[in-house]
Structure 1
Amino acid sequence: MTTQFYDRLSNDLTQLLESDVNCDVSIEVREEVLLVNIYKVHSIILQSRSPYFKKKFDEITFNENHVKILKLPNISVRVFNIIIKYIYSGKISLEKLENSVIFDLLIASNELELDELVEHLQSHLVNDNASWLRLNFAQVYRTSYQVKSFKIIQDFCDDIIIKHPNTIFGSEIFHSLPEDILISILKRDDLPLEEGKIWEYIVQWGKAKNPNLPTSLNEWTSTNFITLKETLKGCLPHIRYFNISGEDVVEKIYPYQQLLEHRLFSDITIKFITPNKPISSIVLPPRRISNIILPTRISPILLFSNIITDEHALEISSWINEKEIPFIENNPCEFKLLVRGSRDGFDIRTIYNVCDKVSKTIIVLKVKDTEEILGGYNPLEWENNNDHWKKTKDSFVFSLKTANMKNSILSRAFDHGSIRNLPSELGLSFGRALYLNGNLKVEKGCFCMKSVEYHKPIRSSEFISPILFPPSEKSLFSVEEYEIFKISPRI
């Protein structure tokens, strides 16, 4: 039996890194324009751990001090700190890192040919932070297909496209997809969408890139069609026009016939009227749409929220339905967007105007600087012209899981839990557990306290105000974005 002392070995090598003893390589990592961090390391260790470093050190000659100098301009100091400690110790901790940093770490690990770490980071993102990957799909998809070794993330992206294409095409991120990403998806033979629907999405994408185009098609001029055609010139060749149904040709293609070359539009018409007559246009093969019935993912949050993910929505729905185990899919609740700060304004008055007499609402808000997602559920009606406290045991407040917060916090109301409806004071609160005031974005007037109305605080103790008025300075926050949804059972 072989006894292994890996912990001692790891600690000894870590101490060697920190000691600077017998270092023969100096690695320069730029932190800012004029600020460079210098890492003194041992070539024998780095080149034994990474083919990248072996190749580089073979290319670089020693200077007069018998030191090789290597510059890494594409890697941040924060990321390289993690990598160099991993190289020496064989250890890495991802728990306190933002997902964006982990993704940067993945890219840097690939550049440095740290294959073991590349595989581990991909698995971590896919298994533990899939919602972040979906929210950043365009960036993730583009990077994964530029890097052959990102096979795990490639498979994740392919699975989304093949099984749940509406998660992309029906979401708000769709209009911001870069053209090369969109084209790579359109080229897929296994894209499981009807061709007429794909045409509609492409037209919508092109319009989003040209917001000055008239809303009504009746107002369009030839110049407008030329503008849209130029925007879509890379996408149009990948539509399978001859697999579009006759009804969709009439309703969807004909109104935009000026986007197509005359020969192509003529052949579409011929094929529609006399299917057996030869045509000269290129006929792409039909897409392979699987007959397997996949579990339905109803109304993913990506369709309507800038703040929360579909996992968040399922968790909130489970709280509303008083389920101890969160729903995994098939959300039983419909989330109808009523108000969004970036669209409708951040003044409390706006909330009361829009939500007057509306019950069963969820408010979610993203805290500026900390990236926390806080919120509350009000089963009662908001009232625009009536200041009073409402008592209900069915309300709750919460803080949702994010990259910086491992688990969500749910705080239900006691029997005397209150909703404070104060339009004249431009205030809105769930007891003292979550207090919103004034202009949520401009004014730093929101805060949380320990509350006798709700079971527990939803922020960490450092951000909880010990007194009501004036609340402590550290507890005050403004809002980067907020949204309010009407919640109703899905029929």
Structure 2
Amino acid sequence: MNDNKFLPKLSQNLLDILNDEEYYDITIEVGNDPYIKIFRAHMVILHYRSTYLRRILSTNKKKNDGTLVHIKLSNILPEIFQIILRYIYSGRISLEEYDNSDIINVLFAASEFGLQELIVDIQSFLVKTKADWMESNFNLIYQTSFENDSFLELQKFCTDLTSKEPDKIFKSPNFSSIPENLLVSLIQSNNLQMSEIKVWEHVLKWGLAQSPELPSDTTNFSKEDFKTLKNNVRQCIPFIRFHNLSSEEFLDKVLPYRKILPKDLLYEDLLKYFMNPNKKSKPRIVTTKKIDINSKIITIQHAELISKWIDRLEITDEIENAYKFRLLLRGSRDGFTHKKFHKICDNRPRTITIIKVNNSNEILGGYNPIAWKSNDYEFFGATKDSFIFSFKNSVDVESYILSRVKSEKYATYNHSDLGPSFGVRDLDLYGYTGHCNGTDYEKQIRESTDKFSVEEYEIFFPIKFVNFYDIFDNFNYSKQVEIWYEYYDVTIEVGNDPYIKIFRAHMVILHYRSTYLRRILSTNKKKNDGTLVHIKLSNILPEIFQIILRYIYSGRISLEEYDTSDIINVLFAASEFGLQELIVDIQSFLVKTKADWIESNFNLIYQTSFENDSFLELRKFCTDLTSKYPDKIFKSPNFSSIPENLLVSLIQSDNLQMSEIQVWEHVLKWGLSQSPELPSDTTNFSKEDFKTLKNNVRQCIPFIRFHNLSSEEFLDKVLPYRKILPKDLLYEDLLKYFVNPNKKSKPRIIVTKEIDIDSKIITIQHAELISKWIDRLEIKDEIENSYKFKLLFRGSRDGFTSQTFHKICDNRPRTITIIKVKNSNEILGGYNPIAWESNKESFCITKDSFIFSFENSDDIKSYILSRIINEGFAIYNSINFGPTFGFGDLDLYRNTGRCSSYYYEKKIRESSDKFSVEEYEVFQLIN
């Protein structure tokens, strides 16, 4: 069960509490003259939502004389505190509504009030949506971020930015005053765009600036001066990559400061290194030209490296012309479907695919110098210049693997049902899933050959030169509210002797979360003498109330933890307390996960569902079940006591498995039992007796399908009760109908033999109808032999791949395919009387196959049946496809299907567009 689904309701209720004028117990004076505002609030909420306010409240205890607590907060603007207060109550904030400067002030306030989760999200929002503004106000942002250890994401943003554009810091007039931890974070970055000698010079400049009294010339340094400078830069020294310097740079720039280097390790090691003529260093990867890229996944350093791979340059080479990486497609913006990929990217040469692997820092990608193509048949694209690559850690540009194509004719793979694909699964994408396990490129770019999930992917078209931006995301509120035991002002006595329990609670919470408790509290007003309000709830078990109370406070409930009988009691309690959103979800949980239990306790559930108009989903479940198995109700000893609305809902169902004469007889039986004083023989009925019976069944009569009766049934069973029928319409109409020898009726579809089927998609009524189509019977015919539908394959259990389908279903004749279309009630299917054979890659002949659809799975009459008309193309076998009827008349490819009209009588869907598959099953028919 989704733990967060009730939080919006809880959030709104708590926001209502903020505007409460009855239960507040504290006033807060915010700001300084002349900008002061008084806010009303509730100590219990402030205490548990803010560590800062908890400390203040600990020295401002609530008194029992009714006096309000009053506190002052002069160090925050009233308009900023209002934003913070709304967040404290609701757990929600829409940062898009505020100016950038206000958002910064809210961030400072969140830090002051100890709202750690808000601090994290504001930083994320700023980095993702306000990068340009932060660049323009860089000095403010970087100084702020390094003065507060909570602002780690802003610190990282500043470090990353200065790594790419170090002059923002190193040539700033404020460089000397930057915090030491900022300088350290900059120089240890692998992506710092600065030569090592410049890094060293700036570290020295900063170190000297921390002690202005030091001489400007090192020849005048005393021993103490060197000690002072050594102490100033001691945190930076370990991150200087001295081995990347030239011998001349070391001699001219480092040797004069040798006294600040750790002599026992670093200095002696460096002397040996620079005296070695064969020394090799690993320089930083420095961007030599400005790269323009708008990416959520890679940085300009990644783009620079990819550009060099395209031009077949070494890392240390300088590219002649910088690229602009023009964004063509982004999954989160344009969608992850292969259809959208081909619509945007087909026929464009020289594209770069970039993939962010879900729940990791891993980046994958590939370069295709030729154009992507799509049609309904796969083919390979040949090129010698394609490559695939990975970065194991996105923040370390040196953690790459580059793999160039070795089987040139299999360089790229084109198919309308796949996204970008390199080789035979060397790297490919299908929706949110990808693979890396082929052999057409030099080497594997991932350690694992398992499928991976895609968080984001982008396609770029590299062209020569321009400028760069950033993107946008939202955050979600998922903060759990606690049950609060301090500041309580009401006690609740729950249960009956000897099972009584006292609960402590807060009137303001109960008032805004439960309509039932609001009514009770309206007659139990809070007094100003400190006396607690006390209420009694005797009609609920203490353990059930505890579950309800936790839900009221937290907006969360884990139904999986409770016995089914307890869940039923929680449902009754939710109805009593007016928790409508919980009522809906408990019913949904019961129907989806506890259907067997409901069947076993059917009498309890159906009576309950029809006694409470809030239990509509349970009511529908009971109606559907009794339509299939009417004896559960009609032969129950409690039949006479069922509510009238239950009886009406049953007899109006198209799927009721009962003949019309039986329906009529049971309606009469029920109507007579409502007035036990009526004679058992209608020949003894008075005019008033008929009136009584007529009144008892008047809601049922419109749903009796009298036209489906035989003349004999009408004569024997209905005519004696003609006085209870509406004479002016129904009775005279029926007389004319039964006198007409050419009368036609449309009977209910009734299961005539027991069908055995284990399906998540269809019912026994669907299975009966399909069985009749196989035997070429009419709907009203009775099948001679009932079938067992043996489940062979289920997508959600076995996987949706064509290979798995063929592995399980090949060489089995007489199979039924059943498909549930995603986000709809639509069912599609087909019958193949011959075997599936994946090794043939050809059409197979039969005159007995058919395809079908049910537009609405709840309405068995909403079907379309379409038999084969071109027998030579009845079935298509291919290892690359799932069950396929005709030439796209109905076929499946993984989670996608289509329905055209070529070789079968008619289309079974209005739309010819591809559709997504939620579930599909394959059954074998056994007599």
TM-score by length of 2: 0.25
Q: Larger radius of gyration, structure 1 or 2?
A: 2
Identify which of structures 1 and 2 has the higher relative contact order when contacts are C-alpha pairs closer than 8 Å and 6+ apart. 1
Please, what TM-score do these two structures have when normalized by structure 1? Answer: 0.44
